[in-house]
Each structure stands twice: as C-alpha cells, then as structure tokens.
C-alpha cells in the first residue's frame, strides 16, 4: 500500500541517486488491487504488520506480479532462526502484537518457507547493517 504522500520522497531519492527512469512509484491499496507488474518488488517493514493469512495473500500478489526470474525483497528486522540473538526482531514482534490485530515478526527461515509455499523457486537471507535483513525470493 503506497500512500500518495510518499511519492515526493520516493522521487527525490531517485533523483538524488541517479535512478530517474529506472524506478516507478505506484500508489494504491495492496488489499484491494493487484500489485503492478515489475521485475523487482520490495516490501520494507510491511509483512510484519499483518496476520498469517494476510502475509500469504501479499506474497501471492507479489508472486503474481513478477515475471519468471523476477525478485521479491522482504526487508525487516528478522528474528534470527535460533530465536536467541536479534533482540530487535523480538522487540519488533512484541510491538506488532501490541499495535496490530494480528501482526508479528518472524525468522528468515519462516519467510523462506512461506515463499516456497507461494511458488518462489529459490530464496535466501541477506543480513544488512544493524538488526535488519532481507529475504530475497526469486520467481
């Protein structure tokens, strides 16, 4: 769900990094409409807001919008697979449980499993700076 108020920030970022013409902003409600077709779809701190049914629905919509070989990137404060190290991931999950009707954070292995169930042929977890990581699923 990209809100119209985000577009000026998105456009400025694209200009600042010389990416005009390579990125496209789409506003809309991802619960009501299909996602626009794209080679890469990024969901940054999105999936953790929703319950399991909604997480699966969003993954399916992303899968359907991607071409063969396209990528879905999920960017979150993932809980480590052993559930022992990334305190920020656990705190974010607690935060989601308090602030949303069904949201929760998850491990990279959880997300990779959901991607496989959705039809992604491969996936991997890439640690980022700080407590965040990304899960990349390839259609």
pLDDT tens-digit map of 95-115: 999 999 999 999 999 999 999
Are 10 and 53 members of one domain? no
Are 79 and 99 members of one domain? yes
Question: How does pLDDT run across 33-68, given as a tens digit for each residue?
Answer: 999 999 999 999 999 999 999 999 999 999 999 999
Per-residue confidence (pLDDT) for residue 39, from 0 to 100: 95
Per-residue confidence (pLDDT) for residue 91, from 0 to 100: 87
DSSP 68-117: TT-EEEEEE-PBPTTSSS-HHHHHHHHHHHHHSSS----BHHHHHHHHHH
Are 122 and 63 members of one domain? yes
Give the list of residues 6+ apart from residue 69 with CB closer than 8 angstroms, or none: 138, 139
The total of structural domains in the chain comes to 2
Alpha carbon separation from 67 to 40, 41, 62, 64, 84 (Å, rounded): 9, 11, 10, 8, 37
Residue 61, φ and ψ in degrees, nearest 5: -60, -40
pLDDT greater than 90 at residue 26: no
Residue 10 CA from chain centroid, whole number: 17
Are 23 and 74 members of one domain? no
Catalytic residue among 45, 48, 75, 90: 48
* Structural domain of 50: 38-138
Taking the model in full, what pTM does it have? 0.89
- Mean of pLDDT values over 123-136: 95
pLDDT greater than 80 at residue 2: no
Are 51 and 4 members of one domain? no
Are 42 and 106 members of one domain? yes
What residues does 71 pair with on adjacent strands? 40, 138
The answer to whether residue 45 is catalytic is no
- Mean of pLDDT values over 89-97: 88
């Amino acid at each position: 769900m990209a809100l119209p108020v985000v577009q000026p920030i998105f456009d400025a970022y694209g200009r600042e990094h010389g990416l005009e013409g390579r990125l496209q902003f789409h506003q809309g409600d991802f619960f009501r409409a299909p996602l626009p077709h794209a080679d890469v779809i990024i969901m940054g701190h999105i999936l953790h807001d929703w319950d399991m049914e909604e997480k699966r629905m969003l993954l399916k919509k992303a899968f359907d919008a991607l071409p063969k070989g396209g990528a879905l990137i999920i960017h979150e404060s993932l809980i480590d697979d052993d559930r022992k190290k990334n305190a920020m991931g656990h705190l974010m999950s607690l935060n989601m449980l308090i602030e949303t009707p069904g949201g929760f954070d998850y491990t990279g292995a959880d997300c990779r499993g959901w991607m496989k169930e959705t039809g992604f042929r491969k996936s991997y977890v890439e640690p980022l700076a700080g407590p965040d990581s990304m899960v990349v699923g390839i259609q």
